């Protein structure tokens, strides 16, 4: 009997100890763990994200003012040229002949003027003789008047020839300029970004100047960023800009926002300035009002090595707005 009581007491002790341990394990408050840092003052920076187009700061389509066949193309794609370097030559046969004709016309008028100068000298001698004769009362007054009129006529003819000489000289200068147009030179320092017309092709400059090559100055690149109308109030000239390119996302470029164009690009399709009919203007206005409106922010990025692509689209542009002190 005593053994039975001892077993029951031992079991009660074991059960009580298990209940105590259970409550001790699950009811104990966990130790608090916090990350701490010293108190500092800093800025909260608000940014505006945008996309844009990267292109050379100066981009020129080098064209021809002369019509004819391209006889020589002196550059190729990717070449670096200096201002005044020869780009291409156009067959100048027509222009050379026009110059020779103008020079011949000028020589003809100058020869006529030389002839009239001789006539003037003869007329003046005749006038002096008639004046001497009349002074001695040995000749008729009509002969003197006729000699005076002849001098005036020859002087007038010389004046007319002088005007013709000026006109002929202008024609010669124009013909020389036309000959010069057949030798196309680089208007600036830059890199050949595109060759539009090849050697042997005939170009016609009657309606508009055909493009031979396209030059770009890669030393400074210009970014035209499209800023949403919802963010345009947060952006102003002088703010810091950070951007990277789709082709090289690891590298970031820094710049300063130079300016913001005063009107969005959609202004060209506004009904107030559209030259189309009322119906088309209304439809254009309604369609533009339902589409997104972007303002253009412009800034330059130095590129001394000229290593960037001539035209590409930046992946992400962030404009640092005014920081908030806390």
Per-residue DSSP letters for 237-283?
A: TT-EEEEEETTEEEEEEEEE--EE-SS-GGGGG-TTT--S-HHHHHH
Inter-CA distances, 130 with 155, 171, 202, Å: 19, 42, 67
The pLDDT of residue 29 is above 70? no
84 vs 76: CA distance, rounded Å? 16
Structure tokens at 3: 């053994």
Q: What is the pLDDT of residues 113-152, one digit of tens each?
A: 999 999 999 988 888 888 888 788 777 888 888 888 999 9
104, pLDDT greater than 90: yes
pLDDT, residue 317, reads 63
Residue 309 has pLDDT above 70, yes or no: no
Q: Is residue 240 pLDDT above 80, yes or no?
A: yes
Task: Choose the weakest-confidence range: 1-10, 76-85, 143-152, 162-171.
Answer: 1-10
Question: What pLDDT, on the 0 to 100 scale, is given for residue 195?
Answer: 93
CA distances from 283 to 43, 78, 218, 237, 261 (A): 47, 44, 41, 34, 25
Contacts of 326 (CB under 8 A, 6+ apart): 41, 42, 43, 44
Measured between alpha carbons, how far is 229 from 264 in angstroms, rounded to an integer? 9
Q: The whole model's pTM is what?
A: 0.63
Torsions phi, psi of 265, nearest 5?
-65, -20
Helical packing angle, 141-181 and 93-135, nearest 10°: 170
pLDDT value at position 87?
Answer: 95
- The end-to-end CA distance of the chain, in Å, is 80
pLDDT band at 25 (very low <50, low <70, confident <90, very high): low
How much is the mean pLDDT over the chain?
Answer: 81
Contacts of residue 246, defined as CB under 8 A and 6 or more positions apart, other chains included, come to: 312, 313, 314, 315
């Amino acid at each position: 009997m005593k053994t039975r009581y001892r077993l029951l007491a031992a079991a009660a002790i074991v059960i009580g100890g298990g209940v105590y341990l259970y409550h001790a394990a699950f009811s104990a408050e966990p130790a608090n763990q916090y990350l701490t840092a010293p108190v500092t003052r800093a800025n909260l920076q608000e940014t505006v994200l945008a996309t844009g187009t990267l292109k050379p700061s100066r981009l020129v389509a080098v064209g021809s003012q002369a019509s004819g066949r391209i006889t020589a193309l002196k550059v190729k794609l990717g070449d670096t040229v200096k201002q005044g370097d020869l780009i291409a030559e156009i067959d100048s046969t027509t222009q050379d002949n026009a110059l020779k004709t103008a020079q011949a016309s000028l020589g003809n008028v100058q020869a006529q003027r030389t002839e009239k100068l001789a006539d003037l000298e003869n007329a003046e001698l005749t006038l002096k003789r008639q004046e001497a004769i009349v002074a001695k009362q040995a000749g008729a007054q009509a002969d003197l008047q006729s000699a005076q009129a002849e001098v005036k006529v020859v002087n007038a003819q010389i004046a007319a020839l002088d005007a013709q000489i000026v006109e002929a000289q202008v024609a010669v200068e124009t013909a020389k300029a036309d000959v010069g147009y057949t030798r196309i030179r680089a208007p600036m320092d830059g890199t050949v970004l595109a060759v539009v017309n090849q050697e042997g092709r005939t170009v016609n400059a009657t309606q508009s100047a055909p493009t031979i090559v396209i030059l770009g100055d890669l030393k400074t690149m210009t970014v035209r960023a499209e800023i949403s109308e919802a963010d345009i109030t947060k952006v102003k000239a002088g703010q810091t800009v950070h951007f990277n390119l789709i082709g090289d996302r690891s590298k970031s470029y820094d710049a300063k926002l130079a300016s913001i164009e005063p009107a969005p690009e959609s202004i060209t399709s506004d009904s107030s300035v559209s030259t189309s009919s009322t119906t088309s203007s209304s439809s254009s206005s309604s369609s533009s009002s339902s589409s997104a409106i972007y303002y253009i922010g412009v800034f330059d990025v130095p590129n001394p090595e000229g290593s960037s692509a001539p035209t590409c689209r930046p992946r992400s542009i962030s404009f640092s707005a005014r920081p908030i002190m806390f």
